[in-house]
Amino acid sequence: MPADMRTYLAHVELPNPILTASGCAGTGRELAPFADVTRLGALTTRTITMAARAGRPTPRMAETPSGLLNAVGLQGPGVDVFLARELPWLAERGARTVVSIGGGSVAEFSALARKLTDAPGVTALEVNLSCPNVEDRGRVFGRDPSAAGEVVSAVRTAARYDLPVIAKLTPDVADVVAIAKACVDGGAEALSMINNPVGMAIDVDRMRPALAAGTGGLSGPAIRPLAVKCVWQVHAALPGTPVIGMGGVTSGRDALELVLAGACAVAVGTVLFHDPYAGHRVLRELEELLQERGFDRLADAVGLAHRPSHRTDREESSL
Amino acid sequence: MAGSPVQVTGTVLTMRRVDAYHALTVVAPGIADRFRPGHFVTVAVGGPRTSTLTRRAFAVHDVKPDYGGTVELVFTVRGAGTAWLADRRARDPLDLIGPLGRPFPLPRDPASCLLVGSEYGAAGLFALADALQQRNCRVDFVLGAASSDRVFGALRARRMAETATLTTRDGSLGVRGSVVDVLPGVIADTHADVVYACGPMATLGGVTAVCAEFGIPVQVSVEELMACGIGLCMTCTVPVIGDDGVTRMTRACVDGPVFRGERVRFDDVGTIPFDAHGAPGGDRAR
């Protein structure tokens, strides 16, 4: 008997817990020749901004051990083109769509939320808190609890009451739990973590930074332990808040690791560049692993690693 | 579904050395059937638990109908990924996606076509030459590289084309210099109606400038670093002028790799041109 894979983001039911991570599934159309996007739990769009953005100069990408540095710079045509051309394609096919939004000010976030809230086909809004705040000397919203809470509550106020708001957290903070609590207090119904930590690589042949932008977001299996830690800490502090775990998931085992740490859904990102069918493969592998371990429901495995086992010497590291 | 790419597990048929390069032939029927000159394929490298996550993109040298359809790629070892690929042997499985990208447009009527390639980037030109000759086009080649052992396909080019002009930077074969240096003379001699070019950005920029002087169209196949090859990652963008005259950061993988040369802003590659759609400054927010 296969395990019941349904999961919930607030009151929204997803048929399975595998999502795509923001910025890794294109508009859905690019993925479609290789994998049925409607069979995913949900597809998360790249971060949608108010105006069109050309992004960063190339080179935008550098491969690192078990990872990828990227500095794309949120390239996209802007929210109006997204609503006119990209969202309808997903909606027509019945794909559940989490729309990631990003802005340079609180006002821009709430304007985006207002534009998107009544569009058909939007399953949830994900607030990309890793955007620099132009009104606060470019400081990233997600690194400051009060700024993060303010953005989330502005989006929550602007969005329709029954549209879940998800806050996407960066691991580049001293205390991820403090940010998570501020977001939940601001009205976030769910949290997704982790966004890319910032990294850098230098091309020793050219003796210059590998990326034109200098630094970039690090993704891939290299960051999975960071993701597990963040999910673990946040689930321990906020056990009632649904967490979408992501960061270097390439297999069902990786997904199960995040589920056991406390994630009720798991997103695949960078692995889609390697294998566009990865989402469906991870789902099948996760289903098999749960079945092998005797679970009837995915929900029974969420956060299971927090329960004490025979030995109780699991002390938190002071690091 | 002629143009639609497929992901297949191909089987390595042969791996051989061609001059300074490796040539890998893979049985991949779904890709061979759909292939048109100018398409490329991507390969997952490093096996199932790989630590190199980005796919490697290669021009297709040849497709053959043997064993249901084979695809031949030409590459050189540049890092861990291509080193792994060079270690593949007959019967090894290989994860391939293709055919990808926009192929070369072919002239409707017979024309005199000049094919310009440098190093192993020239591999993608031979399938094009076959297709052009089937349409009764005259084909001439200009092939260049740093040294004689790195000029790819000189023999085949000499056999199949009306003329084949070779250039090397060290003068060890043909004319000393680059393909761009000999291009004006070759265009004049062959009365070329159209130029097709493969190679690094700087070479393509030079070829495009020469063609502009002669007032003949040029189709270039660009090389830009890409992670996925299927349009997801947004890392292979090039500033390209659209039909509406607006410059956009355009993905080389799905909107290219073949562009009309004069549409690519070669001088601005590696930057965001100030007048590009969505360039900073145009966007008040950031």
Question: How far A261 CA lies from chain B's nearest CA (Å)?
Answer: 23
Average pLDDT for chain B:
90
Q: Indicate the domain borders of chain A.
A: 7-308
Residue A139 has pLDDT above 90, yes or no: no
The CA distance from A79 to A86, in Å, is 10
Structural domains of chain B, with CATH: 6-100 (2.40.30.10), 112-221 (3.40.50.80), 229-281 (no CATH)
The pLDDT tens digits of the residues spanning B29-69 come to 889 989 999 999 999 999 888 899 999 999 999 898 888 89
What pLDDT is stored for residue B120 in this prediction? Answer: 87
- CA R_g for chain A: 19
A33 chain-B contacts, CB cut-off 8 A: 4-6, 230
Q: Is the ipTM of this complex over 0.85?
A: yes
Residue B2 has pLDDT above 70, yes or no: no
Phi, psi angle pair for A54, to nearest 5°: -80, -15
Phi, psi angle pair for B29, to nearest 5°: -55, -45
Residue B119 has pLDDT above 60, yes or no: yes
Residue of B nearest to A45 (CA): B232
Question: How far B126 CA lies from chain A's nearest CA (Å)?
Answer: 28
What pLDDT is stored for residue A315 in this prediction? Answer: 60
Chain A CB within 8 Å of residue B244 CB: no
Selected residue with higher pLDDT from A313 and A95? A95
Which residues, including other chains, have CB under 8 Å from residue B122's CB and lie 6 or more apart?
B143, B151, B152, B153, B198, B199
Strands B6-18 and B56-64: unpaired
What pLDDT is stored for residue B283 in this prediction? Answer: 47
**SS3 state of residue A43:** strand
A271 chain-B contacts, CB cut-off 8 A: 53
Pair B249, B282: CB distance under 8 Å: no
What pLDDT is stored for residue B1 in this prediction? Answer: 41
Total-model pTM: 0.91
Please give the C-alpha separations between residue B222 and each of A202, B38, B210, in angstroms, as whole numbers: 24, 10, 17
The pLDDT confidence band at residue A319, using thresholds 50, 70 and 90, is: low
Say yes or no for a CB contact (<8 Å) between B233 and A220: no
Element of type H or E holding A99: strand A97-101
Question: How far A138 CA lies from chain B's nearest CA (Å)?
Answer: 9
B4 chain-A contacts, CB cut-off 8 A: 33
At residue B234, what is the residue type?
Answer: M
Residue A25 has pLDDT above 90, yes or no: yes
The pLDDT confidence band at residue A37, using thresholds 50, 70 and 90, is: very high
Lowest mean pLDDT across A99-113, A135-149, A180-194, B22-36:
A135-149
The pLDDT confidence band at residue B284, using thresholds 50, 70 and 90, is: very low
End-to-end alpha carbon distance in chain A? 42
Residue of B nearest to A107 (CA): B285
The pLDDT tens digits of the residues spanning A225-240 come to 999 999 999 999 999 9
Say yes or no for a CB contact (<8 Å) between B249 and A54: yes
**In chain A, what percentage of residues exceed pLDDT 70?**
97
The pLDDT tens digits of the residues spanning A189-230 come to 999 999 999 999 999 999 999 999 899 999 999 999 999 999
Instruction: Reply yes or no on domain A7-308 having CATH 3.30.70.1090.
Output: no
Chain A CB within 8 Å of residue B95 CB: yes
Residue B285 has pLDDT above 60, yes or no: no
Pair B201, B225: CB distance under 8 Å: no
Which of A34, A60, A141, A281 to probe by mutation at the B interface, max B CB count within 10 Å? Answer: A60
- CA R_g for chain B: 19
Chain B CB within 8 Å of residue A151 CB: no
What pLDDT is stored for residue B280 in this prediction? Answer: 83
Chain B CB within 8 Å of residue A80 CB: no
Residue B187 has pLDDT above 90, yes or no: yes
A26 chain-B contacts, CB cut-off 8 A: 230-232
The pLDDT tens digits of the residues spanning B202-229 come to 999 999 999 999 999 999 999 888 889 9
Among B215, B190, B216, B220, residue whose Cα is nearest residue B203: B220
The minimal CB distance from B232 to the residues A59, A134, A273 is found for A273
- C-alpha atoms less than 13 angstroms from C-alpha of B96 in its C-beta half-sphere: 30
Largest CA distance in chain A: 57
Question: How far B6 CA lies from chain A's nearest CA (Å)?
Answer: 7
**In chain B, what percentage of residues exceed pLDDT 90?**
71
What pLDDT is stored for residue A309 in this prediction? Answer: 73
- Note which residues in 226-245 of chain A have CB less than 8 A from chain B: none
Residue A137 has pLDDT above 80, yes or no: no
